């Protein structure tokens, strides 16, 4: 076995490495040309072929994004792996062997469509490869470069990048020991919203066979009108005309700073007349329902039968919103009236809904109640709606509570990731999981993801409106039947 194996791809040979554990790694492989210069704000273009073997020992550049350097409350909880450069439409592959025909998992990272990368060390695919799966992680365009649209040109460039990466997998993965006929695309947060959008996009049809959505579903999109509101304000912040051409002339650091200012403005004054749908979820850059690439909101397309042939596993964390309320100190400042106003804003019967959540949580603070209601509105109920719309979907909930912030962080957003990747020992995850996270939870989740990618069965029955079975992952994992039925019923007809 060579310590520097070479694989031939459509655009040239790549030279990988073999770890002491016998896992082959290939990093920083371009799947599209650098999205700069004439390729800026264009659909992904093929990379230039390279004549000599390309070294694939190190991660490639990541998409331009704001830095998390400093002492902010989320800085330690948002690990990054920063490599600067233009050629950031690249991917990474981990495989146990080159002569196999193994299931393939393709991971789409989260980060509110403005941050993150496929090269965060915690996404290392060694343990997936150890267990007989080829793991691929990808980068894609973020922020304005990926999702800015004024109504002309091609929208949803970030999603088109993901489709280009999946096309690369279809065309090349057999050389890395993967089966192009058995591809599962999975993602977390914005990555989960992405994979649900891909499930609804005609251009992605046939590129994958299964979907896993962690903490995101088919409801997070914006209209063309909202996209124009966001783009126009971004241009005003920059002092340029509201066109892609004008924004393309702005230096990248200035554009990133303007995107950050825009997000702060939305958070400070979340008014629908100013920001459209973005006023509800506070994410300025999201997939756009343009009527062509994304013909309708994903949940509507899926309910109408889009992706009917694709197996789906979807789930959420029990206390998603605590990530955004606890480290910032916001949870301690929430009052009862704020909880009632939020319940009404989210579509719950304000007093009856908040009262039910309070009755089910004796001793809960207003911050606890807001976290529970916001979690269900934005994550749990959309996941159940998608499961109801797509027959045969499997549902899970991650319930293990982090010890961080004196155990107040709870089963928060993104906490499941080190368990899914079985990378509990990664130092970047220590602020999340503490000193002694339960290995048995990682064993259970990691195996379920592998089993699902292999044959579509994660190990428990599918969710149906008649038999609402889900798997709860905790120190003692077990299936549940219509958990919190009374709270679920409050959301009937909503989200």
- The number of distinct structural domains making up the chain is 3
The secondary element (H helix, E strand) that includes residue 299 is: helix 298-303
The answer to whether 408 and 385 are in contact (CB under 8 A) is no
pLDDT of residue 492: 83
Alpha helices in 2-102 (DSSP H): none
Residue 14: give the domain boundaries: 6-223+286-309
Q: Are residues 242 and 300 in the same domain?
A: no
In a domain, 1, yes or no: no
Q: Could you give the percent of the chain with pLDDT greater than 90?
A: 91
Check: pTM over 0.75? Answer yes or no. Answer: yes
In a domain, 181, yes or no: yes
% helix, strand, coil for the chain, step of 5: 40, 15, 45
| pLDDT tens, position by position, 51-64 | 999 999 999 999 99
Residue 495 lies in a domain: no
pLDDT at 68 over 60: no
The answer to whether 184 and 162 are in contact (CB under 8 A) is no
- Annotated catalytic residue 19: no
State whether 163 and 19 are in the same domain. yes
Q: Is residue 230 part of a domain?
A: yes
Residues 60 and 85 in one domain: yes
Domain final residue, candidates 281, 296, 326 = 281
Cβ atoms of residues 67 and 26 within 8 Å: no
Residue 242 lies in a domain: yes
β-pair type (102-108, 178-188): parallel
CATH number, domain with residue 427: 3.40.50.1820
296 in the same domain as 319:
no
How does the average pLDDT of the chain come out, rounded?
Answer: 94
What number is the average pLDDT over the span 288-301?
Answer: 96
Structure tokens at 297: 């909101």
Q: Does residue 108 lie in a domain region?
A: yes
Rounded CA-CA distance 399/92 in Å is 30
Residue carrying structure tokens 């040309």:
33
Q: Which residue has the tokens 């995107």?
A: 259
**Residue 231: which residues within 8 A CB-CB, separation 6 or more?**
144, 148, 149, 150, 242
pLDDT tens for each residue of 311-368: 999 999 999 999 999 999 999 999 999 999 999 989 998 788 999 999 999 999 999 9
Distance CA 351, CA 471 (A): 31
Task: Please tell me the predicted confidence (pLDDT) of residue 71.
Answer: 46
**Residue 67 confidence class, pLDDT cut points 50, 70, 90:** confident
Q: Is residue 197 part of a domain?
A: yes
Pair 126, 210 in one domain = yes
Dihedral angle of Cα 324, 329, 332, 336, to the nearest 10 degrees: -50
**pLDDT tens sequence across 260-289:** 999 999 999 999 999 999 998 899 999 999
Is 413 catalytic? The answer is yes
- Candidates 112, 115, 117, 189; catalytic one: 189
Three-class SS state of 51: coil
244 and 340: one domain? no
Beta carbons of 218 and 299 less than 8 angstroms apart: yes
Q: What is the DSSP letter of 222?
A: B
Active-site residue (options: 209, 390, 394, 413): 413
Q: What is the pLDDT of residue 69?
A: 45
- Integer Rg of the chain from CA: 22
Catalytic residue among 214, 286, 319, 320: 320
376 and 471 part of one domain: yes
Q: How far apart are CA 211 and CA 185, in angstroms?
A: 5
For the question of residue 320 being annotated catalytic, the response is: yes
For residue 250, count other CB atoms closer than 10 A to its CB. Answer: 18
Q: Do 179 and 51 share a domain, yes or no?
A: yes
* Whether residue 239 is found in the same domain as residue 201: no
Whether the pLDDT of residue 76 is over 70: the answer is no
Kindly report, residue by residue over 121-169, the tens digit of the pLDDT: 999 999 999 999 999 999 999 999 999 999 999 999 999 999 999 999 9
Whether residue 38 sits in one domain with residue 79:
yes
Look at the block and give the residue holding tokens 């993104």. 414
- Count CB-CB contacts under 10 A for residue 326: 24
295 and 229 inside one domain = no
Same domain for 471 and 337:
yes
């Amino acid at each position: 076995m060579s310590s520097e194996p070479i694989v031939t791809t459509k655009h040239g040979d790549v030279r990988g490495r073999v770890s002491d554990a016998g896992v082959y790694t290939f990093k920083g492989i371009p799947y599209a040309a650098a999205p700069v210069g004439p390729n800026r704000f264009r659909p992904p273009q093929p990379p230039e072929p390279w004549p000599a073997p390309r070294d694939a020992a190190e991660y490639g550049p990541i998409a331009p994004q704001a830095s998390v350097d400093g002492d902010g409350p989320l800085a330690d909880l948002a690990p990054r792996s920063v490599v600067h450069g233009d050629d950031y439409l690249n991917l990474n592959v981990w495989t146990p062997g080159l002569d196999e025909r193994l299931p393939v998992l393709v991971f789409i990272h989260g980060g509110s469509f403005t941050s993150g990368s496929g090269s965060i060390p915690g996404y290392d695919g060694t343990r997936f490869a150890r267990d007989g799966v080829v793991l691929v992680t990808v980068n894609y365009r973020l922020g304005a470069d990926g999702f800015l649209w004024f109504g002309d040109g091609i929208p949803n460039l970030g999603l088109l990048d993901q489709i280009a990466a999946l096309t690369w997998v279809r065309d090349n993965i057999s050389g890395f020991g993967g089966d192009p006929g058995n591809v599962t695309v999975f993602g977390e947060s914005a990555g989960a919203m992405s994979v649900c959008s891909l499930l609804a996009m005609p251009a992605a049809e046939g590129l994958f066979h299964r979907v896993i959505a962690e903490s995101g579903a088919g409801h997070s999109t914006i209209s063309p009108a909202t996209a124009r509101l966001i783009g126009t304000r971004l241009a005003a912040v920059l002092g340029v005309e509201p066109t892609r051409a004008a924004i393309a002339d702005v230096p990248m650091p200035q554009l990133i700073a303007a995107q950050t200012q825009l997000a702060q403005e939305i958070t400070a004054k979340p008014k629908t007349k100013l920001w459209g749908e973005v006023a509800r979820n506070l994410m300025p850059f999201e997939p756009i329902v343009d009527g062509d690439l994304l013909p309708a909101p994903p949940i509507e397309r899926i309910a109408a039968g889009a992706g009917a042939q694709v197996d789906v596993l979807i789930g959420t964390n029990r206390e998603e919103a605590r990530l955004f309320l606890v480290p910032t100190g916001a949870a301690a400042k929430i009052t009862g009236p704020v909880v009632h106003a939020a319940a009404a804003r989210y579509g719950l019967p304000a007093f009856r809904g908040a009262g039910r959540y309070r009755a089910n949580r004796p001793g809960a603070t207003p911050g606890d109640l807001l976290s529970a209601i916001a979690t269900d509105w934005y994550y749990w109920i959309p996941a159940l709606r998608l499961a109801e719309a797509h027959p045969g979907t499997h549902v899970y909930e991650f319930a293990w509570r982090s010890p961080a912030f004196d155990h107040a962080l709870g089963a928060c957003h993104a906490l499941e990731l080190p368990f899914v990747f079985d990378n509990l020992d990664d130092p970047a995850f220590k602020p999340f999981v503490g000193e002694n996270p339960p290995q048995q939870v990682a064993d259970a989740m990691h195996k379920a993801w592998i089993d699902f990618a292999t044959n579509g069965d994660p190990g428990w029955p599918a969710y149906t409106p008649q038999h609402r079975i889900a798997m709860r992952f905790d120190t003692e994992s077990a299936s549940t039947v219509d958990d919190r039925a009374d709270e679920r019923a409050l959301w009937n007809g909503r989200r």
